[in-house]
Chains A and B, each alone.
Chain A
C-alpha cells in the first residue's frame, strides 16, 4: 500500500480536471484532519503491519487467482483468470477498504462510525469491522434499497449497526450518501465517515483506492508466479469503481497491460435507463468531487438503473474519469440481460456464482477473450459473490424461492 504507482492525485486531490474538494465548509476541517492522519499512517510501518495482518487473518487474503479452464475452453480465445475477491470475508472486495478505514478511525480516536450503502455490501463490511472494534455504527440506506436488500439489512442489524432509512430524493444510494454527509456535518467531532467507493471529496478517492490496491498488488505477484508474466488485460466492473481502481492502480505504469472498466448499461444506453456515467454522463460535481455525472439538461442528478444495486450510482470515481480522458483505461458497458447471462454461465461452467455487479465484468471479459489469441491472458475481477443476488435472479426469472 505504501508503494506508489502514479503521482496522482496532486496535492489538492485532483486527477487532472477531476476530483478535488467540493465539500461544504463545515467538512473542510475534518477532511484536512483525515488527510493528514492518513498521510501519516500510510507510511507508518506499524499501521501497515496491522493492516496486512488484518487482511491476512480477518479477511482471508491473499485471494486466489483462479484459472477458469472451462470458460477459456468455451471462448476459444485468451486464457481467462478470475481474481477471487468473492472469497473474502463478507463476500466482496468492500472489506479491504473498511478494514483500513476502521484502523484509521481508531487511531484518530473516533467513537462513532457512519457509512452509506446501496446494495448493502459496504454497509455489511462496515458493520462487520465496527463490531470487531466495538464502535457504534450507523448505516444510511435509501428506503427503496432497504426493501430490495432485506437480507443485508438484517445482517447489518445482527452485527449491531443502526440502519437508518433515507426517504429523500430517489431514496437510493446517492441519497444515502447525502444523508451520511449531513450526519457527518452535524457530528464532526466524534464521527468517522467510512465512504465505500473511490468517490467523495479528497482524500477519499485516493485512500479507498490505496486500501483496495492490495487486489492489483496480489495479481502482480500471482500472475508472475502462475502465468510467468503480467496479464495482457484487466477487466472489472465500475459503479463508483473501487474494485476496478484496486485492480488497475498497481498496473497504471505498465502500459502493455490493457484495462477495461465495465459500466452498467441497464436496459440499454438508448433507453436512458442505465448507470453508465462515463459512457453517457457529463462532467459535473457530485458528492464532493468533479467527475462524470448522470444528470438532466438542468443539471439535476438523474435516477439510474441497473439490475445490480451496487452499480446503481449516478457518478463515478474521479480517477476513472481521468483514466478515461487520458485513454489509459477503456470504459465499456454491459446491459442487464448480458450480465444475467454471464451470471448463469459462470455458475454453470465453473461452479462460481458471481455477484450481479461482477457478472458485468465476466460478460465483457468473455466477449474480450474471444477477440484475443490463446497466448494472451485476461484477469477479470470477481469482486463479489452472488449469494445476495439469488432473490433478484429468482424474481426476474419468475421463480418463487
Chain B
C-alpha cells in the first residue's frame, strides 16, 4: 500500500481536498509552514509546484508565482529540501510534486527520483511527460516506489483514456476545462459526466482540477469525483503577502469554507 492509496481509502466517501502551492511562493521560508497550515485546515494531499521558467499549461497566477520563486533561488533541489523538512513532522500527508520535465531532465531522472523518494515525496505529475514519453521515468519511479500521476483532459479520446488508465497510479487528475490553470468557465455537468465515464475504465480515485476556485465550484465538480485540486485561486489570495502570520491566516481562511462545503456533501 502507498500513502496515497491509504489516504483515499481512509477518506472513503469523503472528498479529498488537494491544495496546490508553488514551492518558494510567496517566500521560500513560508512554504513549509504553509504546508502544515494546509494540513491543519483540511488538506488531504498537498500538490507542491516545482517552479519552471516556461510553464506552458499554467495561467498567469501560477506563472507569476513560479517566476517569483525562481527569482528567490528556488529550484528542484530546494523544493526537495522543503519536502524533507515538512516530513520531519508530518508523515501522513501525501505530497505530489507537480511541474515540467526540463528541470527534471537537467537533474537526471535517476538522481531526481532517488532524492525525491528520500525527501518523502509520494508521486510526481509532470505536465509535459505524457504516457508515451514516460517509459524511462516510470522505470526509475518504480525502483523507488513513487507514483506517476497523469492528466486526463476533456479532449482526451477514449483510446487515450484507456492508455492513461493503464499507466496511471495514485490517482487520475481530470482537467475540468479546455484551458490553462485558473481559467473560468467551468461546466460541472460536463465534468461529472466525463468522470462517470472514466470510472468505467479505472479503479483509481479521480480528482478534478483547473478552474476550481471556491467552495461552490468545488462542490459542483465533486459530485462524481473523489477530490478536488485548487491552485490558482489559493495562490491569488497570497499575492503581496510577506508576513508569515498574515499569510498563514489567509491560507486558513481560504481552506475552511471549502473543507466545510465538501464535508457537507
Contact = CB atoms under 8 A, between A and B. Distances in A.
Interface stretch (A18-26, A221-229, A353-361): A18-26
A284 interface: yes
B153 to A, nearest CB: 4
B75 A24 contact: no
Interface stretch (A28-36, A46-54, A128-136, A317-325): A28-36
Interface string B8-28: 000000000000000000000
Interface residues of A, number: 40
Interface stretch (A177-185, A235-243, A362-370, A379-387): A177-185
A299 interface: yes
A298 B178 contact: no
Interface in B140-164: 150-157, 160, 164
B225 interface: no
Interface in A1-42: 12, 20-30, 32
Given A24-B151, A25-B152, A26-B153, A298 B76 contact: yes
Contacts of A22: 101, 128-130, 133
A352 interface: no
A112 interface: no
Contacts of A287: 54, 56
A295 B54 CA distance: 11
B102 A188 contact: no
A284 B183 CA distance: 28
A293 B102 CA distance: 9
A293 B55 CA distance: 15
Interface stretch (B103-111, B190-198, B240-248): B103-111
Nearest to A302: B53
Contact of A32 (B54, B63, B157, B179): B157
Contacts of B104: 299
Nearest to B164: A25
Nearest to B154: A26
Nearest to A300: B53
Contacts of B55: 178
Nearest to A174: B54
Interface in A196-252: none
Given A28-B156, A32-B157, A185-B180, A285 B67 contact: no
Given A28-B153, A168-B60, A186 B178 contact: yes
Given A169-B67, A188-B155, A301-B53, A295 B180 contact: no
Contacts of B153: 24-26, 28-29
Interface residues of B, number: 44
Contact of B57 (A24, A30, A283, A286): A24
Contact of A26 (B70, B102, B132, B155): B155
B170 to A, nearest CB: 16
A189 B153 CA distance: 13
A297 interface: yes
A297 B152 CA distance: 31
A300 B102 CA distance: 7
A68 B255 CA distance: 71
B127 interface: yes
User: Closest 3 CB pairs between A and B?
Assistant: A299-B106, A299-B103, A298-B75
25 contacts: A22-B128, A23-B130, A24-B151, A25-B175, A27-B155, A29-B153, A29-B155, A29-B157, A168-B63, A174-B54, A175-B54, A182-B57, A186-B180, A284-B106, A285-B100, A295-B106, A298-B77, A299-B75, A299-B76, A299-B102, A299-B103, A300-B52, A300-B75, A300-B102, A301-B102
Interface of B: 52-57, 59-60, 63-64, 67, 70, 75-77, 100-107, 127-130, 132-133, 150-157, 160, 164, 175, 178-180, 183
Given A25-B151, A28-B130, A186-B183, 11 more contacts: A20-B132, A25-B150, A25-B155, A26-B153, A28-B155, A169-B67, A185-B179, A286-B54, A287-B54, A287-B56, A301-B102
